[in-house]
Amino acid sequence: MTDLRTHMHGLWLPLVTPFRSGRLDEISLRRLTRHYAAQSIDGFILGATSGEGMTLREAELEHLVAIVRDEMATGRRNVPIGLGLSGVDTSRMKERLDETADWPIDFYLIASPYYVRPSQRGIVAHFEALADHAAWPLALYNIPYRCAVGITNQTMLRLAEHPNIVGLKDCGASREQSIALLRDRPKSFRVLTGEDANYFEALGDGADGGILLSAHIETATFAAVYSELKQGNQGAAEAHWQEVAELTRLLFTEPSPAPAKYWLWRTGLIDSPEVRLPMVEVSSELAAALDREIERRVKVAA
């Protein structure tokens, strides 16, 4: 994309990675890509949390990106692709940026270093080193409940000044912090929520969109929430949101992306609900609840 900032808005899908018998399931991946590229989404995120990226080998990750881009080209609809990369070693992360520099992506989504608990000065130095080095733009991923350390607004505003840092996936779990960031950010710095259950609220606060696992299901409804709000139709947007608000809770009842994969398997979009350890497939209790909700939505749509 010539200017990613002009495209970084709306509904983005952090695509699940289908597996079968321990291997990347190319048939299901192509089916998924064709299906969602035809929906009202504005971009894909590949190999991040929802895509079980930390379990993917380098060759698998490259193959994943190539398949998705190839399917979009075949379908004649290309949307931006963000590649999830994370790590605690800045030097090794720079090597990964080099290794992926010629992949058909548009930007990287990079979380702050997990486990090592760096200072804010360390976070600034880490991201500036990566942004200086990367062939593609960077979007920050603030998710302190996974990384142990959050990115403060002061740090994000400083990083937003870097010409190669274009936006943020906001999973900071603090509405107060998010509102302050939206108020103070540069106009060109894009903020998309990654908290599915807070999507409607975040859009109302001024977020540019969302990166939502839940949008694998009822994609058009999630897209309609955004489009109706953009048109000033608050009532219509809220009505659409009420159609999916409970879904965002159900799909996170157990560790993600297992519930979403179960749903996609039961509805025929992927051939197996398989996840990679240490993730496990959904419990029998949740499977039954998901089956009931699938059946209910089929009846409503009929």
Active site residues: 141, 169
Nearest to 16 by CA among 36, 40, 41: 36
With a CB cutoff of 8 Å and minimum separation 6, the contacts of 44 are 12, 13, 14, 15, 33, 36, 68, 79, 80, 81, 82
Q: Are 143 and 111 in contact (CB under 8 A)?
A: yes
Q: Give the containing element (helix H, strand E) for 109.
A: strand 107-111
| Residue 43 burial by Cβ neighbours in a 10 Å radius (0-12, 13-18, 19+) | buried
Task: Give the C-alpha distances (Å, rounded to integers) separating 5 from 18, 37, 135, 167.
Answer: 29, 20, 16, 8
Q: Which two three-digit tokens encode residue 209?
A: 């969109």
* Residue 5 DSSP class: G
Measure the CA–CA gap between 75 and 40, rounded to whole angstroms: 14
Q: Are 113 and 141 in contact (CB under 8 A)?
A: no
In angstroms, how far is the first alpha carbon of the chain from the final one? 39
Nearest to 48 by CA among 31, 65, 27, 32: 65
Q: Which two three-digit tokens encode residue 161?
A: 């000044």
Please check if 50 is assigned to a binding site.
Answer: yes
Please check if 256 is assigned to a binding site.
Answer: no
Beta-strand relationship, 43-46 and 10-14: parallel
User: What sign for the dihedral angle of Cα 194, 196, 197, 200?
Assistant: positive
Q: Which two three-digit tokens encode residue 199?
A: 């999507």
Return binding residues: 50, 211
Return binding residues for pyruvate: 50, 211
